[in-house]
Structure 1
Amino acid sequence: MPFSTWLAFAVASAAMGLIPGPGVTSIVGYALSSGRRAALASVAGMALGNAVCMIVSLAGAGALLAASAVAFTVLKWAGALYLIALGVLAIARSRSGPAAHAPAPISPRTAFLSNVAVGTFHPKTIVFFAAFAPQFIRPEASYVLQAAILTATFTIVVGATDTAYALAAARASHLLKSPGARLWSKRAGGGVLIAAGVATAAVRRS
């Protein structure tokens, strides 16, 4: 793969990572509701999910989802309902006690596993990768090697942009010192997770 081709893909990956979508929204939600550890764990989960998503796409599942409305819809609603449920849980936990007591945050393990699912099973992303990534693959070279390079590049670049979002949101949440402000930041984080679920549900096949 020529360096110019790889660089073009890396720049395109960075642009995709900087545009907020359901993944970034969920990461920000974890940062606001549960702090930096949960947010960074969700970034790691999203990175793993993105890698699996690209592998699945380049293996041909993207074409299947593009052709099957049922498969696309099932994956879309499964991911959307999961995010909404986590957001509702975060808000419910914030109401479980007086404002003077910090509500139980979502654990890093839960945040990690949740975003593995979000990254892996987002049907629009699978279809997009199936159409987008092959444009950077040269037919005369090894397909497997080029696919591995593209997958690693996208995962690392988008992981970096996701980490920036996570740290910025976690920093903003730490500025809220009072118990009442922390309580409302956790509720806001739950609301952002619900919004990410709604955004996922709103995705349509192109």
Structure 2
Amino acid sequence: MSDAAYWWVFFSAALALNLAPGPDLLFVLSRTLSGGRRIGVASACGVCSGALVHVAAAALGLSAILATSALAFAVVKYVGAAYLLYLGIQALRSAGGQFNLRPAPRTSALQAYRQGILVDILNPKAAIFFMAFLPQFVRPEQGAVAVQLLVLGGLVVLVAIVIECALVLLAARASSALRANRRLGLWLDRVLGSVLIGLGVRLGLSERA
């Protein structure tokens, strides 16, 4: 395969995978709708920072532990599911407070960034994804495998941040109008909470395969 064809296949796959509505993307969009563009971008940066941790783990071979150890997979899975359930319950309890224009405690950009990191790191399937996806594009003749995995993983994350930030900008347009309406804000908080709880349940029920 020529270099041009190689990179075409790689970036096409990375684009398609990042456009798929997975837990990370749904989390970022739900945070954008609840907090606006700034919170959405911070969440996207957090998720992608967490993904870089998985990339580093894949390059070092640590992700193989999650792929082969049922106990390690279960521990990470249930901690991640519990965290998503916690965020969902917090959203449901806010009763529209996140969209209230009156002064009220809200998620800061730093908090959103930290939440994004945890949501991605505590998803064992993300680790297994990088362990399964990246080696397909390793070319032994190009040098150290670990370095190639780091570069390829970094490029996947770069594609992800571009896509997620573009979607954040689109979602933020809707969120600005929704935050000004108390009734819509109430229902959107309920939707946000339901999405996060649904992601938590989905993660809790997921299998290694």
Settle same-fold status: TM greater than 0.5.
yes
Given the alignment, which residue of 201, 204, 207 partners 1:201? 204
- Runs of 4+ in structure 1 off by over 6 angstroms are none
Deviations 1:157-189 (A, max 9, x none): 011222233222222222323222223223322
The residue number in structure 2 matching 1:30 is: 31
The residue number in structure 2 matching 1:78 is: 79
Q: Distance in 1 between matches of 2:105 and 2:29?
A: 17
Q: Distance in 2 between matches of 1:178 and 1:102?
A: 15
The residue type equivalent to 1:148 in the other structure is L
The residue type equivalent to 1:140 in the other structure is E
Given the alignment, which residue of 156, 178, 182 partners 1:179? 182
Q: Which has the higher contact order (CA 8 A, sep 6+)?
A: 1
Report the alpha carbon displacement of residue 76 of structure 1 after superposing the two structures with TM: 0.9
The residue number in structure 2 matching 1:6 is: 7
Q: Distance in 2 between matches of 1:112 and 1:17?
A: 19
The residue number in structure 2 matching 1:61 is: 62
Q: Distance in 1 between matches of 2:158 and 2:60?
A: 20
The residue number in structure 2 matching 1:141 is: 142
Mapped contact 2:54–2:63 kept (Cα < 8 A):
no
Root-mean-square deviation (CA, aligned residues, Å) is 2.2
Q: Distance in 2 between matches of 1:191 and 1:178?
A: 20
Q: Distance in 2 between matches of 1:197 and 1:70?
A: 18
Mapped contact 2:59–2:146 kept (Cα < 8 A):
no
Identity %: 35
Matched residue SS, 2:207 = coil
Using structure 2 for the length normalisation, give the TM-score.
0.88
Mapped contact 1:30–1:106 kept (Cα < 8 A):
no
Q: Distance in 2 between matches of 1:185 and 1:3?
A: 45
Q: Distance in 1 between matches of 2:101 and 2:95?
A: 11
Given the alignment, which residue of 152, 160, 163 partners 2:162? 160
The residue type equivalent to 1:204 in the other structure is E
Deviations 1:17-70 (A, max 9, x none): 111111111112211222221111000001111111111122112221111011
Matched residue SS, 1:94 = coil
What stretches of structure 2 of length at least 5 have no aligned partner?
A: none
Mapped contact 1:100–1:180 kept (Cα < 8 A):
no
Q: Which moved more, 1:19-28 or 1:167-176?
A: 167-176
Verify: 1:188 aligned to 2:185, yes or no.
no
Deviations 1:62-118 (A, max 9, x none): 221111011001111111111110121122123669x78575432221211111122
Q: Distance in 1 between matches of 2:41 and 2:171?
A: 11
Q: Distance in 2 between matches of 1:103 and 1:185?
A: 17
Q: Distance in 1 between matches of 2:104 and 2:93?
A: 9
Q: Distance in 1 between matches of 2:105 and 2:186?
A: 10
Aligned pairs, how many? Answer: 205
